[in-house]
């Protein structure tokens, strides 16, 4: 497609994949007439984990209420077009190619990172399509992220903060929370999801400095499961709702944060019925997603389960392990973890979350990513973390050999990287309409 060639050119404009700064983005936006000042109302979302799921819930709830919604998320799983949703649909090829070419011309071959120039392209596209709401996900951190050019968001949201990307954001939880809190703007409401005390203190202090009202989990609102329902409660409201369509106990918190953000957004069309419908309809591929058909699914036995999850840090691993432990309590079966990870991730900590839970870790490469751990290296780390482990040449071989003498039905989970999740979904080639 024409956009592929343009995207390839844009990747060569800056020697570093990540270089946190706002200067290059502001320069290019100015050259384009400041499209970021001509956007629909923005809900800006930062955090270490749960950003995408929270946006998926907000989008589904707002659309169930009849609102037109734009969304910007990253990374994509299969096609770049997934990152930019215009009025509920992934951006079309012609429009994507047009805005990318316009940004490329306006940039005049100046250094700018791939994420920065594609973020500007997304903002340009959003500025030209009327909508009721724009859901904008931070790429990395917050304070110096390319999306942080929005100076008057309707709401800022911070989902759970954990240790990840320390080489860019800081070594401690407090330092990372400070970077996330950089999206909070003066006198604009901030919704804060469930946090560790140290992170919450940093976020609350920054909000106080900016006179930004805070609507915080477990203080101003709560979300919890009761009798097979999701209960969301604030000082003034009690909602009795269906459980989220997205699997995993952690999605209760993400759904609660989404409801809190929309309540602060204040559009009365998003009523209890729309919230309930959104919880039922929300989809977020590659995040504890059950695969029931397709090419990869056919490599297992009919009675086996196959799941895909893109969580790639210790916080995400703990959430995934808790969800899998819940599944084991409901329906016991051996757990086979098929995992691949990038070298910049703390693989040992991620793997340790599954010790005593997984029967085996089968370690695979991530095609197209030379900076991924080799399967033998990852298998060694898994054994050191207390997991029986073996390498496999590729994902298909790992699935074919999943049983290794076990006759009983398996629960197989492909996990450890969003890049691996995207590779798996592309190979499976079923249900891609969700992407």
Q: Kind of pairing, strands 360-363 and 335-339?
A: parallel
pLDDT for the residue 91: 97
Mean pLDDT of 64-75: 97
Residue of 75, 296, 264 lying closest to 188 (CA atoms): 264
Q: Confidence class of residue 74 from pLDDT cuts 50, 70 and 90?
A: very high
DSSP three-state, residue 138 = coil
Q: Confidence class of residue 312 from pLDDT cuts 50, 70 and 90?
A: confident
pLDDT for the residue 164: 66
Element (H, E) at 327: helix 314-330
Q: Confidence class of residue 311 from pLDDT cuts 50, 70 and 90?
A: confident
pLDDT for the residue 346: 81
Residues of the chain above pLDDT 70, percent: 97
pLDDT for the residue 20: 79
Q: Say if residue 73's pLDDT is above 70.
A: yes
Q: How far, rounded to the nearest angstrom, does the alpha carbon of residue 22 sit from its chain's CA centroid?
A: 22
Residues of the chain above pLDDT 90, percent: 87
pLDDT for the residue 431: 52
Q: Say if residue 297's pLDDT is above 70.
A: yes
Mean pLDDT of 399-411: 94
Q: Say if residue 166's pLDDT is above 90.
A: no
Q: Say if residue 295's pLDDT is above 70.
A: yes
320 phi/psi in degrees, rounded to 5? -65, -45
Question: CA 280 to CA 298: how far, in whole Å?
Answer: 27
pLDDT for the residue 14: 84
Mean pLDDT of 138-146: 93
43 phi/psi in degrees, rounded to 5? -105, 115
Mean pLDDT of 207-235: 97
* Residue 50 · residue 257 · CB < 8 Å: yes
pTM comes to 0.91
* Mean pLDDT for all residues in the chain: 94
Mean pLDDT of 310-314: 86
Mean pLDDT of 100-123: 97
Q: CA 200 → CA 196, 218, 268, 364, distances in Å?
A: 6, 11, 29, 37
Tokens of 114: 């791939």
pLDDT for the residue 78: 92
Q: What is the pLDDT of residues 153-165, one digit of tens each?
A: 999 999 999 876 6
Q: Which domains does the chain have, with CATH numbers?
A: 2-281 (3.40.1190.10), 289-434 (3.90.190.20)
Q: What is the pLDDT of residues 34-49, one digit of tens each?
A: 999 999 999 999 999 9
């Amino acid at each position: 497609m024409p956009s592929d060639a343009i995207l390839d050119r844009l990747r060569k404009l800056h020697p570093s994949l990540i270089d946190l700064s706002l200067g290059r983005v502001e320069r290019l936006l100015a050259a384009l007439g400041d499209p970021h000042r001509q956007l629909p109302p923005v809900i800006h979302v930062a955090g270490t984990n749960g950003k995408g799921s929270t946006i998926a819930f907000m989008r589904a709830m707002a659309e169930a209420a009849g609102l037109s919604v734009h969304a910007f998320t990253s990374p994509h799983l299969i096609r770049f077009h997934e990152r930019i949703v215009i009025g509920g649909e992934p951006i079309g090829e012609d429009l994507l190619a047009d805005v990318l070419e316009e940004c490329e011309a306006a940039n005049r071959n100046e250094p700018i990172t791939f994420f920065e120039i594609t973020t500007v392209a997304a903002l340009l596209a959003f500025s030209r399509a009327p909508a009721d709401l724009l859901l904008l996900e931070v790429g990395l951190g917050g304070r110096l992220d390319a999306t942080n050019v929005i100076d008057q968001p309707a709401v800022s949201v911070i989902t759970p903060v954990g240790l990840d990307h320390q080489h860019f954001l800081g070594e401690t939880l407090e330092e990372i929370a400070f970077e996330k809190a950089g999206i909070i703007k003066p006198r604009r409401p901030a919704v804060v999801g469930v946090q560790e005390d140290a992170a919450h203190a940093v976020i609350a202090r920054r909000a106080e400095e900016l006179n930004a009202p805070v609507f915080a989990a477990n203080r101003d609102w709560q979300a919890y499961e009761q009798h097979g329902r999701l209960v969301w409660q604030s000082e003034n409201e009690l909602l009795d709702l269906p459980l989220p369509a997205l699997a995993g106990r952690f999605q209760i918190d993400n759904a609660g944060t989404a409801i809190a953000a929309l309540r602060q957004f204040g559009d009365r069309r998003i009523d209890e019925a729309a919230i309930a419908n959104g919880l039922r309809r929300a989809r977020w591929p590659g995040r504890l997603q059950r695969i029931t058909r397709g090419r990869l699914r056919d490599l297992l036995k009919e009675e086996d389960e196959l799941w895909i999850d893109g969580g790639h840090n210790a916080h995400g691993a703990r959430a995934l392990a808790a969800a899998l432990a819940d599944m084991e309590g409901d329906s016991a079966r051996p757990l086979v973890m098929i995992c691949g990870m990038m070298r910049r991730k703390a693989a040992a900590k991620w793997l340790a979350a599954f010790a005593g839970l997984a029967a085996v870790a089968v370690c695979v490469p991530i095609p197209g990513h030379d900076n991924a751990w080799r399967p033998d290296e990852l298998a060694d780390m898994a054994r050191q973390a207390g997991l029986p482990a073996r390498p496999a040449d590729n994902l298909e071989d790992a699935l074919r050999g999943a049983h290794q003498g076990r006759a009983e039905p398996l629960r197989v989970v492909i996990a450890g990287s969003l890049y691996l999740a995207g590779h798996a979904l592309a190979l499976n080639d079923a249900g891609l309409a969700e992407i």
